A and B are shown apart, each in its own frame.
Chain A
Amino acid sequence: MSLLRRRKPSDSDKKRPTVSVPVQDSEADSTKGANKASSVPVPNSVRRAKARCSCFDSCCWWIGFVCSTWWFLLFLYNAMPASFPQYVTEAITGPLPDPPGVKLLKEGLRAKHPVVFVPGIVTGGLELWEGHQCAEGLFRKRLWGGTFGEVYKRPLCWVEHMSLDNETGLDPPGVRVRPVSGLVAADYFIPGYFVWAVLIANLARIGYEEKTMYMAAYDWRISFQNTEVRDQSLSRIKSNIELMVATNGGKKVVVIPHSMGVLYFLHFMKWVEAPSPMGGGGGPDWCAKHIKAVMNIGGPFLGVPKAVTGLFSAEAKDVAVARAIAPDVLDFDILGLQTLRHVMRMTRTWDATMSMIPKGGDTIWGGLEWAPEDGYECSNGQKKQQKNGNSDSHKGKGNKTNTGVNRPRVHYGRIVSFGKDVAEVPSSVIERLDFQDAKKGNAMADSNASCQDVWTEYHELGSIGRKAVADYKVYTAGSVLDLLQFIAPKMMRRGSAHFSYGIADDLDDPKYGHYKYWSNPLETKLPNAPEMEIFSLYGVGVPTERAYVYKRASSAECSIPFQIDTSAEGGPDNPCLKGGVYLSDGDETVPVLSAGFMCARGWRGKTRFNPTGMKTFVREYSHSPPSNLLEGRGSQSGAHVDIMGNFALIEDIIRVAAGATGEEIGGDQVFSEVFKWSEKIKLKL
């Protein structure tokens, strides 16, 4: 449009315009004439007319012109045959491959096992059922997902309704926000941004429809057990799976959880076999009777480091980078901290975020001196080179050590370090002061009043508490828990009632019958279902957050006192450190370690976590970005959400849904070093 607008005046200046505005194609000559006529130097009239020719008229003219052109284009667009875009795309990029659904339909595959989708955090829609005055007219409208129109119109009202009660983690009084149900809950997150839609469309090609597909939508803000307490979501899933199995001739379901849905479904599998009232009372063979396979997509089995920063300072890589680019805007009190603090206050009431705090402590994630991923080469996404041969890369490394002797080692185990130097020096050099007994000073209690509407628990921390946090200098996965407990005691009190992050010594201890352990694969046994198969499907080859360099923020009145130190860059020596974040391999959100370890080792064969020895498979999908814009989010993406449109992954899922076993689709498919890394983890199996 802007092109057209710019061109128009030039049309009249130039004597013989070669380019004419598309709309005027037919009457180009005449308009030229008209335009010329309008620019005839008739001094008197022009001057007089110029006075009368108000800005208003020309504005109207322009708007009118723009509108008509717009309408015309819109009309053309609507009149265009539906196959036209595809035709253009094919002309440019060559013939598109058949979508997997079509391809497999031709192979003769047909709908067999009913499928259950378990959406992850954030991707499921939430709608309003009861609200305060300010949310009038939003009844049954989406507050989360859809267009997010209300976020912009009434942001504070929105935050108020999306927040949960700080004590109970349930609805605040007078507010009922509930998950959208049905396939629409998470097929598109916002219009045009698919989550499950591509998979659904491909499954439909081989005959699936709503009676054989079920979206296990749940409120992803509240803790897993609370979805049952408040909405009976787990009961619903149980009932719907039973119904689908019964109405499909006893064929077991294939469950496809994504992201946090993986943990939710782990919880479900324990819940459904546990006796009521805490559990669903399905009996000890419910899973064996009803589930054929669980195909986890991008599952953060052992948590994600991103969750720590989200809870610690309400920022992940994306926010941190934005702050580095526009420090004034984001740090400015109104837009920056206020917003961040509001977001933080809201997200801290969401219990479910705590399900993704890294689990297994130092045993899994590494300590001060070691990490399973040690030796990983960050090469800006050039994973394939590295894959070509580990020996090659070692050789290269050896050469390098000759030139750069003091090349810094990456300590992935140090999930949070205060200062880049602390992150790099050997552990013996670091002097740490224990923070856990530090008194929380109330030096800033007097300023509480001014910050009241943006309450966060940092106030209670006081300056002494903040200093203590920074003085401890380095936090590993084990001590990160203590850290969060220290700075957000209320949140963690709720969290510790619903989630646990440890490793079980004795899985037969009756305490593990409690629901708070059910979503932690290191503290539960898999169900007694030897025929069931567990897949872990995830993308690799995208830099993924793994550890952080922090700094104390300049002390303003109502500020979040800690920030990711975006100035910490590894430079060419250490490409793993970017903008204060240590990166490793993964799908942009979940590191390979978290997504792959359980299926690669923890559950592999008969282990104490997998007493019946059900088969597990690791299937990795190497990320390759879309080759051009027309491809949208690409059909070979490995990114956390975009992988849901990955053709190879969809094909695997459809094959399994149509009856194939893990061996039949090719068993393991590994590009990363997940097996090597898993070996380094000393976990009793």
Chain B
Amino acid sequence: MSELRKRKPSSTNTPSSSAPKPPVPPPIPSDSDSIVSESEPVPVPASKQKTKPPKSDKTQETSGAKKWSCVDSCCWLIGIICSVWWVLLFSYNAMPASIPQFVTEAISGPMPDPPGVKLQKEGLKAKHPVVFVPGIVTGGLELWEGHQCAEGLFRKRLWGGTFGEVYKRPLCWVEHMSMDNETGLDPPGVRVRPVTGLVAADYFAPGYFVWAVLIANLARIGYEEKNMYMAAYDWRISFQNTEVRDQTLSRIKSNIELMVSTNGGKKVVVIPHSMGVLYFLHFMKWVEAPAPMGGGGGPDWCAKHIKALINIGGPFLGVPKAVAGLFSAEAKDVAVARSIAPGVLDSDFLGQTTLRHVMRMTRTWDATMSLIPKGGDTIWGGLDWSPEEGSVCPPDKEEYSNGINYGRMISFGKDIAEAPATEIDQTDFRDAEKGNNIAHSNGSCGDTWTEYHEMGWRGIKAVADYKVYTTGSLVDLLSFVAPKMMQRGSAHYSYGIADDLDDPKYQHYKYWSNPLETKLPNAPEMEIFSLYGVGLPTERAYVYKLAQSAECYIPFQIDTSVNNGTCLKDGVYLVNGDETVPVLSAGFMCAKGWNGKTRFNPAGIKTYIREYVHAPPSNLLEGRGTQSGAHVDIMGNFALIEDVVRIAAGATGDEIGGNQVHTDILKWSERIKLKL
């Protein structure tokens, strides 16, 4: 539109030169209608067909060019475009549905049957009801009550779908998506609620599937809504708060009980994805805990209702990405974007303000804190060791990460990241006074509030002076830079390792989503799977720098200038994983922590690891591929879907082939000295 509008004034210029021409006698009115409409476009050929000049002399051509005003040619052009578009649209709609498949097959050879069709031919039928537990970000949220600026958005999606409103009224959107900074619940006058039903997370945005492929394949063997349930929850608030505010956990319990009883007592197969894995760990503790804190289902609820737990890409022990996200509102993606277009992202208008808005919003989302790495140095490595040291950095199969200190989750400067631990001179930040040097400038930054202001310049310097942060000191770091957030967080989550699991303090809900501080339920027949992709570079540690001090800015940035082979890219140390969750986090519990009868798994529930090596789609027609190992795209991985469908149809872990391991996860797990 804007182009069109701009062009029109220019059209006034061209004919204005012809305006002084002698006044034109109007055509005879009688035949005007037909003639005029036909004669208007007359000049079209004249100006267009310059390849045939001999037919018209020069004066005619120039007058023709003048008559053929810019508006007319614009209209003509748009007309052509519109008609072509319509014709294409029409032929697309008229095309038989099988043509795209036909074309794809002609190019890439016959497609394999989707797993649902294949297994249907094998005679598999729907057996156990399935429950999907979506992860963070992928579930839709809709507006139930809002401020003036959100008028007309009642029951429209604010998250998921087309995100149309983000562009139309960004500030209004941020306002409604944020939670209250003190309580972590709704701000006054705003109610944003999760979408329910399978539509909550089948597609994230139109065309971008999350659960849709799995649902379609399950439907092939007879599943439908009565035996599939999407346990949608508000992924912004803490797990326990979903129960307090929406009674989501009660709903999941009630729906599982309903499905078990209406399906002849067949237990459910639960399929959590991403953060849903932690949510369901929380659920399993909640449901057996006595009311009012728990669901009062009794100590054998899980044994009675759950056949298998198929975790997909589960960040059991957290993800390093969460740290970068909370610390400076950036993960690899943002960091790369900044290095490509430093001017745009760092310019105050789009860059810092946007980032700061995003940060302010995400920091009110308690659930992000469930993803902070758990288990401290014992699991993630210390200053000079880490479980993954010496492993391959994907996608390169040759380069080994010898000498990389993955344990140093955040280092200020590359030299510090590489220096031996003894040479690093750490000044403790914890007692540093928070200076208020820049407090006076608060006024101008008021609307983009973050807690960095309160930290002041001295606090920022203290953070940088500590130089290296391992997982153990990360929580302290975050408590220092974002005290309010962590205060809420520590009421809902815990990141440690339990010494004595029978300590009554572990009955508190804040431990329920940490596998290192809870016991699995007493359900010896249940099976736990961990399915995840491997072969993709995954963020594991970061090199930071202090940003130049501007007025309202985030004082720390990933140092994107640091590169070293495939293991260190743009300031990020990479390791094997599914692009979001490192193998260690997804695999350790099933590989070692819960394997056999351990103190975390007193009933000896069987655990299985199934890794899926990432293979990118061979051509564009395949879309996001059927062999992907990426965190979300793996939901369309045929091999994974086949495994899931088989289990849902009744197979056990041993029947689908037991463990399937491509990485050194078992070796790495051995290096972790955890009392079992």
Task: State the A residues within 8 Å of B (CB).
Answer: 8-10, 12-15, 24, 26-27, 29-31, 33-42, 45-46, 48-50, 52-53, 57-65, 67-68, 71-72, 75, 82-83, 129-130, 136-137, 139-140, 176, 178, 181-184, 187, 200-201, 204-205, 209-211, 231-232, 235-236, 239-240, 242-243, 246-247
B532 to chain A, nearest CB (A): 27
CA distance A181 to B145 in the complex (A): 22
CB contact under 8 A between A57 and B41, given known A27-B9, A71-B1, A204-B144? yes
A37 near B145: Cβ-Cβ < 8 Å: no
Please count the residue pairs between chain A and chain B whose beta carbons lie under 8 angstroms apart in the complex. 231
A38 near B40: Cβ-Cβ < 8 Å: yes
Q: Within 8 Å CB of B36, what residues of A? A: 9, 12-13, 35, 38-39
B225 near A45: Cβ-Cβ < 8 Å: no
B11 at the interface (CB under 8 A from A): yes
B197 at the interface (CB under 8 A from A): yes
CB contact under 8 A between A130 and B67, given known A33-B18, A37-B24, A61-B79? no
CB contact under 8 A between A30 and B16, given known A63-B83, A68-B74? yes
CB-CB contacts below 8 Å: B67-87 with A: 67, 69, 71-72, 74-83
B63 near A37: Cβ-Cβ < 8 Å: yes
B97 at the interface (CB under 8 A from A): yes
CA distance A232 to B82 in the complex (A): 50
B1 near A72: Cβ-Cβ < 8 Å: yes
A150 to chain B, nearest CB (A): 12
Q: Which of B44-52, B280-288, B336-344 contacts A (4 or more CB under 8 A)?
A: B44-52
B112 at the interface (CB under 8 A from A): no
Q: Within 8 Å CB of A209, what residues of B? A: 144, 191, 193
B15 near A31: Cβ-Cβ < 8 Å: yes
B75 near A82: Cβ-Cβ < 8 Å: no
A175 to chain B, nearest CB (A): 12
B75 near A210: Cβ-Cβ < 8 Å: no
Q: Which of A24, A58, A200, A205 makes the CB contact (< 8 A) with B41?
A: A58
- Further contacts, 11 of them, CB under 8 A, given A34-B18, A53-B44, A247-B251: A26-B9, A31-B69, A36-B23, A38-B40, A39-B39, A49-B46, A53-B45, A65-B79, A182-B199, A236-B258, A236-B262
A34 near B225: Cβ-Cβ < 8 Å: no
Q: Within 8 Å CB of B35, what residues of A? A: 39
B531 to chain A, nearest CB (A): 24
CB contact under 8 A between A60 and B83, given known A27-B12, A30-B16, A35-B40? yes
B42 at the interface (CB under 8 A from A): yes
A232 to chain B, nearest CB (A): 4
B661 at the interface (CB under 8 A from A): no
Q: Within 8 Å CB of B191, what residues of A? A: 209
CA distance A269 to B655 in the complex (A): 45
B671 at the interface (CB under 8 A from A): no
B556 to chain A, nearest CB (A): 39
A200 to chain B, nearest CB (A): 8
A410 to chain B, nearest CB (A): 46
CA distance A341 to B254 in the complex (A): 45
Q: Which of B49, B67, B76, B145 makes the CB contact (< 8 A) with A64?
A: B76
CB contact under 8 A between A64 and B251, given known A27-B11, A210-B196? no
Find the A residue at minimum CB distance from B224.
A129
B41 near A48: Cβ-Cβ < 8 Å: no
Find the B residue at minimum CB distance from A238.
B258
CB contact under 8 A between A82 and B79, given known A34-B18, A182-B196? no
B251 near A184: Cβ-Cβ < 8 Å: no
CA distance A181 to B25 in the complex (A): 69
B82 near A58: Cβ-Cβ < 8 Å: no
Closest 6 CB pairs of A and B: A64-B79, A60-B79, A64-B75, A64-B78, A63-B79, A52-B45
B24 near A40: Cβ-Cβ < 8 Å: yes
B80 near A64: Cβ-Cβ < 8 Å: yes
B156 to chain A, nearest CB (A): 12
CA distance A136 to B154 in the complex (A): 34
B423 at the interface (CB under 8 A from A): no
Find the B residue at minimum CB distance from A51.
B45
Q: Which of B26-34, B375-383, B491-499 contacts A (4 or more CB under 8 A)?
A: B26-34
CA distance A31 to B74 in the complex (A): 13
Q: Within 8 Å CB of A236, what residues of B? A: 226, 258, 262
A137 near B97: Cβ-Cβ < 8 Å: yes
CA distance A24 to B9 in the complex (A): 10
CB contact under 8 A between A30 and B11, given known A62-B79, A239-B258? yes
A184 near B71: Cβ-Cβ < 8 Å: no
Q: Within 8 Å CB of A240, what residues of B? A: 254
A254 to chain B, nearest CB (A): 18
A454 to chain B, nearest CB (A): 26
Q: Within 8 Å CB of A46, what residues of B? A: 39, 42
B40 near A136: Cβ-Cβ < 8 Å: no
B320 at the interface (CB under 8 A from A): no
A79 to chain B, nearest CB (A): 10
B56 at the interface (CB under 8 A from A): yes
B350 at the interface (CB under 8 A from A): no
- A-B pairs with beta carbons under 8 Å apart, 22 shown: A26-B9, A27-B8, A27-B11, A29-B19, A30-B15, A33-B19, A38-B39, A38-B43, A49-B43, A53-B41, A58-B38, A60-B75, A60-B79, A63-B82, A63-B83, A64-B78, A68-B78, A83-B151, A176-B224, A182-B196, A239-B255, A243-B251
A38 near B42: Cβ-Cβ < 8 Å: yes
Most buried by A among B4, B67, B216: B67
Q: Which of A24, A71, A178 makes the CB contact (< 8 A) with B224?
A: A178
CA distance A136 to B39 in the complex (A): 49
CB contact under 8 A between A67 and B82, given known A53-B39, A60-B76, A210-B193? yes
B183 at the interface (CB under 8 A from A): no
Q: Within 8 Å CB of A36, what residues of B? A: 23-24, 26
CB-CB contacts below 8 Å: B106-165 with A: 144-145, 151-152, 154-155
B182 at the interface (CB under 8 A from A): no
Q: Within 8 Å CB of B40, what residues of A? A: 12, 35, 38, 58, 61
Q: Within 8 Å CB of B384, what residues of A? A: none
B38 near A53: Cβ-Cβ < 8 Å: yes
CA distance A199 to B120 in the complex (A): 43
